[in-house]
Amino acid sequence: MHDKGQTNKIIESWQEGLLAAGLAGAPVVVVLSTARDSQRVHSAALIASVVAGVLLLLAALLLYFHWLTTPSRRHSWTVTAAVVMSVQVLVSTSHDLAEPISGSRNLAMSSAIDLLAAVLVLVLLLLGWRAVRNPQPLLLGIGLAIGLMFLHALVHVEPPLVVSATPAWGLAAAIVAGHLAIAGLVLHDHNQIAWARHRLASTVLLIGIAHAVRSGAVEGWATDLAAATALVGAAALWASASFFLLRDALATQHRRAIVLEGSLLEIETNLRGSREQLHEIRSTVAGAASAARLLDDRAISPLTHDRLERAIRTELDRLERLVVPQAPQTPGPVDLDSTLDVLLQSQRAQGRTVEWEPSGGTAVHARPDDVAEALGILLDNAATHGGTASRVSVTAEQDLVEIAVIDAGPGVPLEARDGIFDWGVHRSDSPGQGIGLSVARRLVSEHGGTLTLAEPDEAPGSSFIIRLPAARRSEEADVRGA
């Protein structure tokens, strides 16, 4: 499976290579189709070489961007060497196109600069193998390339700086040897994938062949075409390899980003669940603790004492289910009178006044803890934002039961109504965390119900309305019997 994926990558990367070869070779085809003499052939070859040099520089930049996505010390030196080599090709071919080099000495100096560039690239790769200090590849590469550009400019200065003409075959052999050494280092860089190493090594060899051919060892218009063909092939290989390496690195980074986003989402979900659980635990503990303190008050009646004890036991049982992992409750009939009686005992134990008239056994179909938690959140919200006095009303409407929690506070500002049920949204002066109402709406909606904020009217305060499916008649009979 892995080999098949690598094969597909190699095949796909050749598409970019063919595109690069077409861009570099198009000027040659255009000029050759109208060429009538060797001078035009020479011009066509130089144009193709310049275009190939531009593509090589673009490929080096792509390799630089690839380094930015996957930075490593050795890779930075490789990118520096790539910038130097590509700029050297572009500058040397551009000089030849603008002002053809004449004379054996000037030609020897130009080839000597090509050899110097190869030695410089070899030194950069060796520094990468030693993993010395990490450079800024684009800055260092351009700086070294500017030095080579200066040397090329000196080729046309009279008198020539080369004291004696060096044999062309000797320079050609030295250039090829230098590029063979560079290719060998590239092939032994196992930090890079195999197909890319081979592609880059072939690029280096083709550039070396082009420089050797242009050294003057062989004369004639055919040598110009041979050098141009070698540079076009090098541009195609390097551009395709660099482009595909960058695309593959970006795809890998994208996949990692998706995985990281999923992990962050999971962490956020777990954190939100923990905060919601802590929010409910605090509310439950506060009610049970206040009710437990009232038990020591001898002024309360025996009936109130019994109701407080029952409320404490109910709240502690619910607290245990919150903190100890258990199988989720099965939705069933929930007697609102019993549920509200327990909650209101806890509310009153905290010094809050809640008006309520028992409904006579109205029941809803839901999970008992979810109903208790949603109602507890609304009662706490009413006490926090609407004062210590609030009111609860229960109304049965066919298959739905409506529970309204009404306070006498300042009400909800118009600008805050739209986002009041969003998780974590609250006013800057609010003592809450913006969690409760979002949790209450989610719990109610899980049972096919709704939680809404009633439209404002002339009366002060706010009214939150829960609508839940009513329990079936057989379930209501069971609840009343119990």
What is the pLDDT at residue 217?
A: 59
Q: Where exactly are the structural domains of the chain?
A: 2-261, 295-481
Helix, strand, or coil (residue 363) = strand
- Phi first, then psi, for residue 388 (nearest 5°) are -80, -10
What is the pLDDT at residue 163?
A: 41
Tokens 């939680």 — which residue? 451
What is the pLDDT at residue 1?
A: 43
| 82: CB partners within 8 A, 6+ apart | 59, 60, 63, 64, 141, 238
Output the tens digit of pLDDT for each of the chain's 482 residues.
Answer: 445 555 555 445 555 555 555 655 565 565 555 555 566 667 777 777 888 888 889 889 988 998 888 887 788 888 899 899 998 888 888 877 766 655 556 677 778 888 888 899 999 888 887 766 778 888 888 888 888 888 877 765 554 444 444 567 788 888 889 999 999 988 888 777 888 888 888 889 999 888 888 776 566 666 777 888 888 888 888 888 888 888 888 888 888 889 888 888 888 878 877 877 787 788 778 777 877 877 777 777 788 778 788 878 877 887 777 777 777 778 889 999 988 888 888 888 888 888 888 888 889 999 988 898 899 888 888 888 777 788 999 998 878 999 999 988 888 888 778 788 887 766 655 656 678 888 889 989 999 999 999 887 767 788 999 999 998 754 554 555 45
Cα 223 from chain centre: 50
Decide: 85 and 56 in contact? Cβ < 8 Å.
yes
What is the pLDDT at residue 467?
A: 94
Q: Is 424 left (phi over 0), alpha (psi -120 to 50) or beta?
A: left
Cis? peptide before 159, omega within 30° of 0: yes
**Topology of the domain covering 295-481:** Heat Shock Protein 90 (3.30.565)
Q: How far apart are CA 89 and CA 92, in angstroms?
A: 5
DSSP H/E element including 189: none
The pair of three-digit structure tokens given for residue 281, joined into one six-digit string: 């635990």
pTM more than 0.85: no
| 451: CB partners within 8 A, 6+ apart | 374, 421, 437, 440, 441, 444, 445, 464, 465, 466, 467
* Burial category of 370 from C-beta neighbours within 10 Å (exposed 0-12, middle 13-18, buried 19 and up): buried
Please list the alpha-helical segments (H only) found in 324-355.
336-349
Helix, strand, or coil (residue 370) = helix
Cα 278 from chain centre: 31
